[in-house]
């Protein structure tokens, strides 16, 4: 079994106090912290191998190119893509989803076509499709949720029709903490001749992901949510689809030949990687994947599940506190959203910060979901491999302390 208390010592940022209290970092859904091996690997690249890739024949350029392409293979194996060419490096998950909308979407969506997403999508997996639908005269449709916050699969079967050309769904939601049935959704999507695009930002760092087993057409994620540097992300796409798509951006590196009046494009994945990429970010992403593989994704998922099993019953026992999403720990990721009646989530988050506890408060880039839930915002705690039962207990204690301080449930407000 993995020793998660020992792994926690690899994260130097956690060894500090905030407002005089030991830091409890519960905002990994926004960005994860970086372990020392990842920090050291990025530093080593800059100290020994830093050069631009692909274009040089000198030793440093060859080393940098080898590092960069090795990172592509590492990502390929991590998500079990069929070949390295199916891995495109991007700025992040948002960039990857916009790439699909601006290339595959522009080329394949016509007036009257349907694009189907869920009401629980992050804005990154909503706005690109909303704007594409407006530009093309397509119809944007939403899959609803069950009463406990899971994707309504029966509604999905109604919304996805023979007019549907694209379905875009999060693998795991960033507010409700639910994992969507991607494999079944892919089957339904393909039965109607459409493609499925998956936002994997909240999943790939927390559970095993096999894009071939899921049979998804596109899968996007960010490195910074899985302990790599910021500014690096990945778009996986099936090779036959990528080959038909036009470039996303133009410039150096993505070309075959350039003449005064015409140009040709490099093969995949390079035609989607214009200009100098985030080379050190790719190296850091590979190092983060190596770190995750050392622990084991199944073990990480089990660890987070154990923390949620400890947390949810305690939260549900607090009077005047509402937990959004499934109340069954077995149906939950390490993301838990909640509100105290009568207290704005920002005030609750500020109170928790005074106890050294970092949570997120707001609409979490999911305003349509907030409207669906009939709230303006929520507080959100999100757990990762470096969190412990002590962090769970600290959160529950701090929420109760804030409830008492603000006199929630007493009929008066301090």
**Looking at the annotation, which residues are catalytic?**
365
Cβ(4)–Cβ(382) under 8 Å?
Answer: no
Task: List all residues 6 or more positions away from 293 whose beta carbon is below 8 Å from its beta carbon.
Answer: 78
Q: Cα(35)–Cα(217) distance, rounded to whole angstroms?
A: 32
CA angle centred on 170, ends 165 and 173, rounded to 5°: 150
Which value, in Å, is the radius of gyration of the alpha carbons in the chain?
22
Cβ(177)–Cβ(328) under 8 Å?
Answer: no
The three-class DSSP label of residue 142 is strand
Distances (CA, A) of 110 to 135, 362, 384: 9, 35, 41
The three-class DSSP label of residue 106 is helix
Distances (CA, A) of 136 to 107, 113, 118, 376, 383: 10, 9, 20, 31, 40
Q: Cα(10)–Cα(347) distance, rounded to whole angstroms?
A: 32
Helix (H), strand (E) at residue 128: helix 127-136
Q: Cα(75)–Cα(97) distance, rounded to whole angstroms?
A: 17
Beta-carbon-side half-sphere exposure of residue 123 (alpha carbons within 13 Å)? 6
Output DSSP code: residue 246: P
Cis peptide before 269 (omega within 30 of 0): yes
Residue whose structure tokens are 């609409």: 363
Q: Cα(339)–Cα(375) distance, rounded to whole angstroms?
A: 9
Helix (H), strand (E) at residue 391: helix 389-405
Phi, psi of 413 (to 5 degrees): -125, 135
- Strands, E, within 32-162: which ranges? 87-90, 114-118, 139-143
Task: List all residues 6 or more positions away from 344 whose beta carbon is below 8 Å from its beta carbon.
Answer: 377
């Amino acid at each position: 079994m993995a020793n998660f208390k020992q792994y926690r010592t690899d994260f130097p940022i956690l060894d500090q106090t905030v407002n005089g209290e030991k830091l409890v970092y519960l905002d990994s859904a926004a960005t994860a912290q970086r372990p020392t091996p990842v920090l050291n690997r990025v530093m080593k690249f800059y100290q020994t191998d830093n050069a631009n890739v692909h274009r040089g024949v000198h030793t440093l350029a060859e080393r940098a190119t080898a590092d960069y392409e090795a990172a592509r293979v590492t990502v390929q194996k991590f998500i079990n893509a069929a070949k390295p060419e199916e891995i495109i490096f991007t700025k992040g998950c948002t960039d990857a989803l916009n790439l699909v909308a601006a290339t595959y979407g522009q080329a394949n969506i016509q007036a009257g076509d349907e694009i189907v997403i869920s009401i629980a999508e992050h804005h990154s997996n909503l706005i690109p499709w909303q704007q594409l639908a407006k530009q093309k005269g397509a119809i944007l449709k939403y899959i609803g949720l069950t009463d406990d916050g899971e994707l309504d699969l029966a509604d999905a079967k109604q919304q996805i029709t023979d007019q549907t050309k694209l379905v875009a769904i999060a693998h795991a939601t960033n507010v409700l903490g639910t994992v969507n049935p991607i494999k079944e959704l892919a089957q339904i999507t393909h039965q109607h001749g459409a493609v499925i695009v998956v936002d994997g930002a909240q999943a790939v760092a927390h559970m095993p992901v096999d894009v071939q087993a899921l049979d998804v057409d596109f899968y996007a994620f960010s490195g910074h949510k899985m302990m790599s540097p910021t500014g690096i992300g990945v778009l996986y796409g099936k090779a036959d689809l990528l080959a038909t798509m036009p470039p996303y951006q133009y410039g150096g590196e993505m070309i075959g030949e350039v003449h005064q009046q015409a140009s040709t494009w490099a093969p995949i994945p390079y035609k989607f990687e214009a200009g100098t990429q985030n080379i050190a970010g790719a190296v850091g992403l590979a190092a983060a994947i190596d770190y995750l593989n050392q622990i084991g994704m199944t073990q990480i998922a089990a660890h987070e599940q154990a923390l949620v099993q400890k947390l949810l019953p305690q939260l549900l026992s607090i009077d005047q506190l509402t937990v959004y999403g499934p109340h069954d720990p077995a149906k939950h990721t390490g993301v838990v959203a909640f509100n105290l009646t009568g207290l704005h989530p920002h005030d609750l988050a500020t109170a928790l910060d005074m106890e050294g506890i970092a949570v997120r408060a707001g609409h979490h880039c999911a305003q349509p979901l907030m409207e669906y839930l009939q709230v303006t915002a929520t507080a959100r705690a999100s757990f990762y491999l470096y969190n412990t039962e002590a962090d769970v207990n600290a959160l529950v204690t701090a929420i109760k302390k804030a409830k008492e301080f603000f006199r929630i449930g007493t009929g008066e407000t301090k």
